[in-house]
Amino acid sequence: MAKKTIADVDVSGKTVLMRVDFNVPLDKERKITDDRRIEMALPSIRSVTERSGRLILMSHLGRPSGSGPEPEFSLAPAAVRLGELLGEPVEFASDTVDDDAKSKVGALKNGDVLVLENLRFSKAENKGDEAFAGKLAAMADIYVNDAFGTCHRTDASMVAVPKAMKAKGKPCVSGFLVEKEIRYLKDAIENPRRPFVAILGGAKVSDKIMVIQNLLRICDRIIIGGAMAYTFFLAQGRKVGKSLVETDKVDEAKRILERGGDKILLPVDTHCGDAFSADCEKRIIDGDFPDPFQGLDIGPRTIEKFKQEVAGAKLVVWNGPMGVFEMPPFDAGTRAIAEAVATSSATSIIGGGDSAAAIQQMGFADKVSHVSTGGGASLSMLEGQKFEAVEILDEK
């Protein structure tokens, strides 16, 4: 069932407490070097201010120690940047639940925005502390979760706060960012258009075992590329030279291959190099890799084969690059798959992290249905995990 969103509640004259992800990168002068996370929250923010709601924003930034304010992790620069983006002043409270926050919340008028200081300045946030959550919950009439990147966590602002607000009969809903992530990473995958093709790559099998197990249940094909593939080659008894492998995962890879059968598609040729460098001696290999060669990208025949699979799909989920895409010419496989996904008529979902970075870098981000904003959260959702922070939100 779909979750209620901020659009489903009347916010006029109400105080709305919204969990956002303003965990933006800062340089040494505490200048924001990439404000995309703030920009992405604007639709949910405007939905409150334009309908005369009073908005309190809360977020974490970085990993402070949790024993009090640390200026380098202050959210003050994010509040300033938000004000610039909105073209209106934004208030900032120098604490989270204490005197400054309380007095500024009390002074909020309809349409105003207040940013609270970093939630992680207190250990209570990470611990999911109920007393801390109770203080936040008491500030507002409506709770909104628009922080997908933290949805797999059980921090106070993600779970204990909505729990406390629900107990008082206050609405708890999702923001537009979280709504879109759920629509694609959960709903589209649970009720897939078929054929459903999953493409998995990246450095490690260990990071993606649970994703493979879950998707094997649901999808029609799993394409495996990246260094991950070489652990599967070992499981087939092949030699992979100096390739990056996880020898402790070979048995697991064997079991996956037995269970997956024809559903699993491995590379049929590999672009290898005799060293991990762009100017190494290169060779396309389709059998055992001789020493000192290592696999660095999928080969040309594999590219064609994978592209055909993508072309026939109605739903494509992609997580993890096909090779060392940061080091041309070993970006060719990832680039070709990115293009195939972007030009296909399938619903296309790109998991967060490196594949999201790759598709953005290659200029295809606006040609796919959804690029996830969460790394860990997106993988956990593909693993089929249920998130308490999402489950707790009101149903439509």
Task: Give the active site residues.
Answer: 37, 204, 353, 376
> Which is nearer to ligand AMP, 248 or 391 (by Cβ)?
248
Q: How far is the CB of 227 from ligand AMP (least distance, A)?
A: 4
Q: How far is the CB of 297 from ligand AMP (least distance, A)?
A: 6
Q: How far is the CB of 77 from ligand AMP (least distance, A)?
A: 28
Position with the least CB separation from ligand AMP = 202
Burial of 138 (0-12, 13-18, 19+ CB in 10 A): middle
> Which is nearer to ligand AMP, 16 or 227 (by Cβ)?
227
> Which is nearer to ligand AMP, 128 or 321 (by Cβ)?
321
By CB under 6 A, name the binding residues for ligand AMP. 202-204, 207, 226-227, 244, 295-296, 320-321, 323-326, 353-354
> Which is nearer to ligand AMP, 132 or 293 (by Cβ)?
293
**Rounded Cα gap, residues 230 and 232, in angstroms:** 5
**Rounded Cα gap, residues 265 and 262, in angstroms:** 7
What residues have CB less than 8 Å from 377, skipping those under 6 apart? 148, 149, 150, 151, 152, 181, 352, 387
CA distances from 317 to 195, 211, 267, 306 (A): 11, 11, 18, 13
Give the phi and the psi of residue 350 in degrees, each rounded to 5.
-110, 120
What residues have CB less than 8 Å from 119, skipping those under 6 apart? 58, 59, 60, 96, 125, 155, 156, 157
**Rounded Cα gap, residues 3 and 173, in angstroms:** 7
Q: How far is the CB of 203 from ligand AMP (least distance, A)?
A: 3
> Which is nearer to ligand AMP, 206 or 308 (by Cβ)?
206
Q: How far is the CB of 363 from ligand AMP (least distance, A)?
A: 19
